[in-house]
Amino acid sequence: MRQPLIREEKGKLIPTETGVAFFRALPASATLPDMTALWSAQQSDIEQGNKTVDEFVNALIDDLRPHVKTVSVGEIQGEAKPNSGQVEKLATPCPHCGKTIVVRPKLFACTGCDFKIWSTVAEKKLTTKQV
């Protein structure tokens, strides 16, 4: 399973811990301001209709592929994630059916019914103790 490199929060793209680790592992040439200026110019071409999004993305992938291949997996260090069989569970049972509640990135969900609580309420992140 692939780890996401970015997440959306309040309409903004925020790098995940894995994304930051990946960025740090890239060669300097891929993160220079000159490179982002070039990408910005190409995005302007898209806005003006001189280039499609697919052309931009494909060229970007082609440009970065050789650099990404040189990065050793050992160079990318992030927080260890539990295996798919290891899911964090709350000690408190579901108030509706009494089954287990599991912790997901965006919500707390019951394994026995459709009960769920969003992990962010009124722009505040809930902890497992609060749930």
Whether residue 12 has pLDDT greater than 80: yes
Q: What is the pLDDT, as a whole number, of residue 48?
A: 92
Least confident of 4-8, 95-99, 127-131: 127-131
Show the CA angle centred on residue 94, arms to residues 101 and 8, nearest 5°: 45
Question: pLDDT higher for 90 or 129?
Answer: 90
The domains of the chain are located at 6-75, 82-131
Note the pLDDT tens digit of each residue in 15-50. Answer: 888 888 877 777 676 677 777 788 788 888 888 999
Task: List Cβ<8 Å contacts ≥24 apart for 2-7.
Answer: 3/78, 3/81
Neighbouring CB atoms inside 10 A of 101's CB total: 24
Query: What tens digit of pLDDT does each residue of 65-118 get?
Result: 776 666 655 555 544 454 455 678 888 888 889 988 888 888 888 888 888 888
